[in-house]
């Protein structure tokens, strides 16, 4: 059976096994904390150590829910941490794909890998670039001082190496040295796998006459890592390399390369955040409603506060928890929102519920945030245990027919429906205008009411009833004595 793209969605009852080639030692734990924790976060480190500890324990009946309980996490957090451990090379995941059983019964095998040493970590351009991005050059320099002897800056020295011709002057050299260096660099460039963007930029620099000796294997690795992390377009990458190469004609200052790349990325993020805030403002109709062109919405801290303020000003009747709910429905994908709701109720999202949700999105034209609120309405407000297809279609069809475009509209609609329902249950009667209408009462209820009215009429009636009851009890007792 072919494993689909949703293989990451491990079920709580899905069995698992953990493999570890050898136990992690103290030095490797130090590398895990200092080198990998900035990339995978504390949750990733905790999951790594938890899986490592399970490798030596009996695993016959081990399930994912055992890890969820021990770590106090849900499936979404587990997936987040697992992805990052896999990306940095600390974990490999295998699924038993030859089985025809549903995915929730398939065995998942996790292979825990040892952290790299500092030297091996530094040779990985991708890992080193990511660490420089998150922690900065100062942190990396501190690690160098802790793990290695200070390196010598050869730029402060004069090279006195003897060239080939000075020693072997009698041998006819038929190949020009500079041509060999250029051809060697070009071959390195051809042999090193690069992205299409990097390939085009390097070709443009070569055509411009840039020194080929700069394009070493290390340069290609560093460039690939930067492109993978920052996702520069061709123009931005060309400007970055042009700026660095102009200042260093004979060699590349890789520290400057990383610093310039991070500066460019920071500027782009700032511009993107500003543009996104303006875009959100244009989507606000009188500071009230929002029609998303993309979903889920990735709010910045600034735009999130602005959106919250706009909702509070436009709808003063909304409570703080209502506004928080609206913002949550706008920011989470349907599958994640469903997973969070089910986790909050102590369960988990089933394949059946996910399938029902996917099928609903294919046929309705509701705002995606409204669909998330529909999940909340069924599971929390109506307190249903399962997201059934019938419930989804019923309420989605009703809301769509009433043109409820936003979550606020649905909230107001539900409140109006509740008021109407209460009026129908407890109608107000005005005796001056309408005559009293007595609902026909069944015969057994009439008898019960008559007996109640008689016994409640006066104390004498109560006494008479009590005397009659005592007389009947005494008569029954005499009959029993005679029979005995």
261 and 308 in a single domain? The answer is: no
One domain for residues 309 and 249? no
Whether residue 6 is contained in a domain is answered as no
Instruction: Report the pLDDT value the prediction gives residue 396, as an integer from 0 to 100.
Output: 92
Q: Do 248 and 333 have their domain in common?
A: no
Residue 196: partners with Cβ closer than 8 Å, 6 or more residues away = none
Quick check: is 37 in a domain? yes
pLDDT of residue 294: 64
How high is the pLDDT of residue 134?
A: 82
Q: Is residue 266 part of a domain?
A: yes
Q: Among the three residues 111, 128, 143, which one is the final residue of a domain in this structure? A: 143
Backbone angles phi, psi at 429, to 5 degrees: -110, 135
The predicted-structure confidence for 393-405, as pLDDT tens digits, reads as follows 999 999 999 999 8
Q: Give domain status of residue 155, yes or no.
A: no
**Domain edge (last residue) among 101, 124, 143:** 143
Which of 423, 440, 456 is the C-terminal boundary of a domain?
Answer: 423
Q: Give the CATH number for residue 28.
A: 1.10.10
Domain count along the chain: 3
pLDDT digits (tens, 9 = 90+) for 89-138: 999 998 876 666 676 778 888 999 999 988 888 888 888 888 888 888 78
Check whether residue 350 and residue 396 sit in a common domain: yes
Main-chain phi, psi angles of 95, to 5 degrees: -120, 140
Residue 258 placed within a domain: yes
Residues 305 and 269 in one domain: no
Based on the domain organization, do 242 and 322 belong to the same domain? no
Helices 234-247 and 217-230, packing angle to 10 deg: 140
Domain that holds residue 22: 16-143
Residue 436 lies in a domain: no
Question: Are both 305 and 400 inside the same structural domain?
Answer: yes
For the question of whether the overall pTM of this predicted structure is more than 0.85, the answer is: no
269 with 308, same domain? no
CA dist., res. 339 & res. 347, Å (int)? 9
**In a shared domain, residues 94 and 42:** yes
Question: What whole-number distance in Å separates Cα of residue 233 and Cα of residue 227?
Answer: 9
The reply to whether 325 and 416 lie within a common domain is yes
Residue 447: exposure state from Cβ atoms within 10 A (0-12, 13-18, ≥19): exposed
Q: How far apart are CA 447 and CA 454, in angstroms?
A: 11
Instruction: Say whether both 269 and 315 belong to one domain.
Output: no
Helices vs. strands in the chain: H and E counts, helices first: 21, 5
User: How far apart are the C-alpha atoms of 222 and 56, rounded to whole Å?
Assistant: 39
Rg (CA), the chain: 37
Report CA 149 to chain centroid distance, whole Å. Answer: 41
Give me the pLDDT at residue 88, please. Answer: 93
Cα–Cα distance measured from residue 254 to residue 242, given in angstroms and rounded to the nearest whole number: 14
Shared domain for 252 and 305, answered yes or no, is no
Those residues of the chain that have pLDDT short of 50 are 1-7, 169-192, 283-293, 430-458
Give yes or no for a contact between 216 and 185, defined as CB atoms under 8 angstroms apart.
yes
On whether residue 203 sits in a domain, the answer given is: yes
| 44-57 burial code (b ≥16 CB/10 A, e <16) | bbbbbebbbebbee
Whether 158 maps to a domain, the answer reads no
Q: Using omega within 30 degrees of 0 as the cis cutoff, is the peptide bond preceding 296 cis? A: yes
């Amino acid at each position: 059976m072919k494993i689909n793209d949703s293989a990451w969605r491990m079920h709580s009852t899905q069995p698992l096994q953990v493999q570890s080639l050898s136990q992690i030692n103290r030095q490797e734990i130090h590398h895990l904390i200092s080198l990998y924790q900035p990339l995978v976060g504390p949750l990733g480190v905790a999951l790594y150590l938890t899986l490592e500890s399970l490798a030596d324990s009996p695993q016959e009946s081990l399930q994912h829910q055992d890890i969820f309980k021990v770590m106090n996490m849900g499936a979404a957090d587990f997936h987040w941490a697992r992805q990052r451990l896999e990306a940095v090379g600390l974990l490999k995941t295998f699924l038993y794909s030859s089985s025809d059983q549903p995915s929730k019964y398939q065995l998942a095998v996790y292979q825990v890998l040892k952290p790299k040493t500092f030297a091996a970590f530094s040779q990985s351009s991708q890992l080193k670039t990511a660490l420089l991005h998150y922690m900065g050059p100062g942190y990396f320099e501190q690690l160098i001082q802790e793990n290695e002897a200070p390196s010598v800056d050869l730029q402060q020295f004069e090279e006195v190496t003897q060239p080939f011709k000075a020693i072997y002057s009698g041998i006819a050299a038929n190949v020009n040295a500079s041509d060999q260096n250029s051809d060697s660099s070009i071959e390195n460039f051809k042999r090193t796998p690069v992205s299409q963007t990097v390939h085009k930029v390097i070709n443009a620099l070569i055509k411009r006459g840039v020194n080929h000796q700069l394009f070493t294997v290390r340069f290609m690795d560093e460039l690939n890592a930067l492109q993978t992390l920052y996702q520069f377009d061709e123009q931005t990458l060309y400007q970055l390399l042009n700026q660095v190469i102009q200042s260093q004609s004979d060699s590349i200052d890789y520290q400057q390369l990383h610093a310039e790349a991070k500066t460019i990325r920071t500027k782009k993020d700032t511009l993107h955040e500003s543009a996104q805030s303006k875009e959100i403002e244009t989507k606000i109709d009188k500071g009230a409603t929002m029609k998303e062109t993309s979903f889920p919405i990735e709010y910045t801290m600034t735009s999130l506060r602005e959106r919250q303020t706009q909702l509070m000003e436009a709808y003063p009747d909304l409570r703080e928890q209502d506004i928080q709910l609206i913002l949550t429905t706008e920011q989470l994908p349907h599958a994640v929102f469903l997973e969070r709701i089910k986790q909050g109720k102590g369960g988990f999202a089933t394949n059946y519920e996910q399938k029902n949700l996917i099928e609903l999105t294919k046929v309705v034209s509701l705002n995606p945030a409204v669909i998330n609120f529909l999940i909340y309405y069924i599971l929390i407000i109506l307190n249903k245990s399962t997201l059934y297809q019938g419930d989804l279609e019923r309420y989605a069809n009703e809301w769509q027919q009433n043109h409820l475009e936003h979550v606020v509209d649905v909230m107001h609609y539900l409140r109006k429906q509740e008021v109407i329902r209460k009026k129908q249950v407890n109608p107000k009667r005005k005796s001056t205008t309408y005559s009293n209408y007595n609902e026909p009462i069944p015969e057994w209820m009439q008898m019960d009411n008559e007996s109640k009215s008689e016994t409640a009429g006066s104390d004498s009636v109560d006494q008479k009833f009590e005397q009659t009851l005592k007389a009947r009890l005494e008569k029954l007792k005499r009959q029993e004595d005679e029979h005995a």
